[in-house]
Amino acid sequence: MDELLLCGATGDLGGRIAARLSERRIPFRALVRPRSDTAALRSMGVELSIGDFTDPPSLGRALAGVRTVVTTANGIGRRLAGAKDVSIDRVDREGNAALVRAAEAAGVERFVFVSAQGMTDAMVDLVPFFAAKRATERLLQASPVRSVIVRPAAFQEVWLGPQSGIRPDQRLAVIYGRGRTPVPYVAEDDVAEACVRLATMDDPPPSLDFGGPEALTRHEVVDAFQRALGARIRRIVVPRRVLTFGARALRRRRPDLASILGIALSMDIGNEVGDEPLRALEIEPRPASAYIAARADATAHT
């Protein structure tokens, strides 16, 4: 019987966790939706349990015999990509609550929940995604299940990549707010490794807040791309007041978009967090400049 359930295994971070568990021959089951793209999981021979955060009985079935839950599942990425069947409320708030309740009923011993940095009270009020994350954190902290709350800083692959408006191929980059606040961008592989260790180590901490080893401002990120490419990159600035106004205006109608604007604002306001917790887990984290150099190199060769 598999003793670990991974939720979100078809996602970017979740997929990296699945690959590590599989490489290390740690038996696990993945909760996947009926229409999830499971090709990578099948090729690794992972046991699949069909279910959905919006279908509580399916969570109970997936949890049979499970002692450890790891979840990265969230509704924001797919919603932003146009999916209509996911939402922050249904997946991140109600779905996570249903998973916590089902884990309690199934006698789960450890619950590793991937949350986020930057969730000050003001930001939780502004950002629906943060509000859902905090609600789940609170449920877990009050639960008899031992919880491990993982709060990574912004991911390099997301916030230094094209989806956040860094387009060296088009020689343009979006600067959110002033762009003068250092952000300790962290590599998704390092986050995945931390999740695996927290799921399997003897005595995990109740929470882990961390970033990568190198904090760069948004302007420094663009400067680094410019140096690597030997070309000027145009900067399109979205002022803080536009981020704030947009997040407020879209909060009810498009909570996913409002959340992205609010998260960009929270990063520009800043949140100091270091890489020491990763090093304490014996992870050597990748600096942001290594990611930038690799992307600039790939851009130069296309």
Ligand X SMILES: NC(=O)c1ccc[n+]([C@@H]2O[C@H](COP(=O)([O-])OP(=O)(O)OC[C@H]3O[C@@H](n4cnc5c(N)ncnc54)[C@H](OP(=O)(O)O)[C@@H]3O)[C@@H](O)[C@H]2O)c1
Closest CA to 290 of 219, 187, 220, 204: 187
Read off the tokens for 37.
């793209």
Considering only the stretches 46-54, 218-226, 248-256, 290-298, report the one whose residues sit in contact with ligand X under the rule CB under 6 A: 46-54
Considering only the stretches 68-76, 135-143, 165-173, 227-235, report the one whose residues sit in contact with ligand X under the rule CB under 6 A: 68-76
Residue 74 contacts ligand X per CB under 6 A: yes
Residue 116 contacts ligand X per CB under 6 A: yes
Among 2, 4, 6, 8, binds ligand X (CB under 6 A): 8
171, 299 Cβ separation under 8 angstroms: no
- Cβ proximity to ligand X, 72 vs 147, nearer residue: 72
Q: How far apart are CA 15 and CA 22, in angstroms?
A: 10
Q: If you count them, how many residues does the chain have?
A: 302
286, 293 Cβ separation under 8 angstroms: no
* Angle, alpha carbons 36-44-98 (nearest 5°): 45
Residue 285 contacts ligand X per CB under 6 A: no
Residues 94-113 that bind ligand X (CB under 6 A): 95
Smallest distance from ligand X to CB 273, Å: 11
Smallest distance from ligand X to CB 254, Å: 17
Smallest distance from ligand X to CB 274, Å: 15
Strand partners, 167: 172
Among 69, 91, 98, 199, binds ligand X (CB under 6 A): 91
* Angle, alpha carbons 42-46-49 (nearest 5°): 95
Among 114, 123, 238, 258, binds ligand X (CB under 6 A): 114
Q: How far apart are CA 136 and CA 71, in angstroms?
A: 12
DSSP string, 107-121: T--EEEEE--S---H
Q: What are phi and psi of 152, to 5 degrees?
A: -80, 155
Residue 28 contacts ligand X per CB under 6 A: no
Smallest distance from ligand X to CB 126, Å: 16
Task: Mention every residue, 6+ apart, whose C-beta is less than 8 A from residue 150.
Answer: 112, 113, 114, 115, 191, 194, 195, 198, 207, 208
Per rule CB under 6 A, count of chain residues that contact ligand X: 28
Residue 86 contacts ligand X per CB under 6 A: yes
- Give the full edge-to-edge strand order of the sheet including 29-32: 47-50, 29-32, 4-7, 68-71, 110-114, 146-152, 207-210
- Cβ proximity to ligand X, 101 vs 171, nearer residue: 101
Among 54, 143, 226, 244, binds ligand X (CB under 6 A): 54
Smallest distance from ligand X to CB 14, Å: 4
Among 4, 49, 53, 126, binds ligand X (CB under 6 A): 53
Query: Mask: binding to ligand X, 140-169, rule CB under 6 A, as x and -?
Result: ------------x-xx--xx----------
Among 3, 12, 94, 104, binds ligand X (CB under 6 A): 12
Among 4, 6, 10, 46, binds ligand X (CB under 6 A): 10
Helices (H), 167-281: 188-200, 218-229, 240-250, 255-269, 276-280
Residue ranges that bind ligand X, judged by CB under 6 A: 7-8, 10-14, 33, 36, 52-54, 72-75, 77-78, 86, 91, 95, 114, 116, 152, 154-155, 158-159
